[in-house]
Amino acid sequence: MHVLVLGGTTEARRLAELLHPRPDLRVTSSLAGRVSAPRLPPGEVRIGGFGGADGMARWLREHAVDAVIDATHPFAERISFNAAGAAATTHVPLLALRRPGWVPGEGDDWRTVDDLREAAEAVRTVGGGGRRVFLTTGRMGLAAFAHIDDAHFLVRSVDAPEPPTPPHMELLLDRGPFTLDGERALLARHRVDVLVTKDSGGAATAPKLTAAREAGIPVIVVRRPPTPAGVPVAATVEEAAAWVQARSAAVSG
């Protein structure tokens, strides 16, 4: 049974690690190619776009794929809709692996916004117009903040962003997982007034939220985009592996 894992996340890599040793499976992971030195999963890896939903449907047929797991990032909206389209055309079973979103707890000061444009608006008002902003929304989409010239941005991303970027910006090239002690020290060292994050979920990047709560720093949280209707969802890597197991049992009769 040939399984295609649409990746670019820790969960996708962990799923490939879990499935790869199984003799009944051939596992191919697909990466977009955005990161210059990606952590590669075991098994076969293909890199680069498919050419939309039609291109992915073609790829599924040409490579005799029996099941697809969309383990892309919750904010990678286009590839998820492409996967739903390709699966519908080819009748290849599709499962979405989505880590649950973060939930505010006691003492959190969160403002939820719909997108990066709204996040940029909120930066001007939240925390009394916080002047030192810790931006952890990734290197794409910084254009939404590029017009803000009266705030200092600390931008953390895996690779350097491309212009346009905010005029007053310090870049921190790093990749999770991050520790609570590290995040505490970072917020203090950079005198951060406000944190901006996507609701990515997961443990690897959650310590910044705890550190912000402890320091009384408000957090602007970008809400997740919608997911394609009708696609079953697994919340954990283990659940997704069990789904593959069930499909494999069905295929082998």
Can you read off the two tokens belonging to residue 234?
């697994």
Task: Report the alpha-carbon angle 77-67-33, nearest 5.
Answer: 45
99 forms part of the interface with ligand NAP (CB under 6 A): no
Stretch that binds ligand NAP, among 45-53, 60-68, 97-105, 169-177 (CB under 6 A): 45-53
Residue type, 131: R
Total residues interacting with ligand NAP, rule: CB under 6 A: 24
Q: In this complex, which beta carbon is closest to ligand NAP, that of residue 78 or of residue 191?
A: 78
- For 124-180, where are the E strands, in sequence order? 132-135, 152-157, 169-173
By the 8 A CB rule, do 111 and 221 touch?
A: yes
31 forms part of the interface with ligand NAP (CB under 6 A): yes
Q: Residue from 1, 3, 4, 6 that binds ligand NAP (CB under 6 A)?
A: 6
How far apart (Å, rounded) are the C-alpha atoms in residues 248 and 244?
6
Q: Residue from 39, 40, 49, 61 that binds ligand NAP (CB under 6 A)?
A: 49
Q: Residue from 27, 79, 86, 151 that binds ligand NAP (CB under 6 A)?
A: 79
Q: Which residue is nearest to ligand NAP (CB)?
A: 49
Q: Residue from 21, 24, 39, 51 that binds ligand NAP (CB under 6 A)?
A: 51
Find the binding residues for ligand NAP in span 127-186 (CB under 6 A).
138
The dihedral through the CA atoms of 65, 39, 98, 172 has a sign that is: negative
Q: Residue from 7, 166, 201, 207 that binds ligand NAP (CB under 6 A)?
A: 7
Q: Residue from 38, 52, 176, 228 that binds ligand NAP (CB under 6 A)?
A: 52
Q: Residue from 17, 44, 45, 77 that binds ligand NAP (CB under 6 A)?
A: 77
How far apart (Å, rounded) are the C-alpha atoms in residues 201 and 68?
22
Q: Residue from 39, 61, 63, 78 that binds ligand NAP (CB under 6 A)?
A: 78
Q: Residue 170 contacts by C-beta under 8 Å, 6 or more apart in sequence?
A: 152, 153, 154, 155, 190
By three-state DSSP, how is residue 31 classified?
strand
82 forms part of the interface with ligand NAP (CB under 6 A): yes
How far apart (Å, rounded) are the C-alpha atoms in residues 99 and 118?
24
Q: How far apart are the first and last CA of the chain?
A: 12
50 forms part of the interface with ligand NAP (CB under 6 A): yes
Residue 180 φ then ψ, to 5°? -65, -45
For ligand NAP, the binding residues (CB under 6 A) are 6-9, 30-32, 34, 49-52, 55-56, 72-73, 75-79, 82, 138, 198
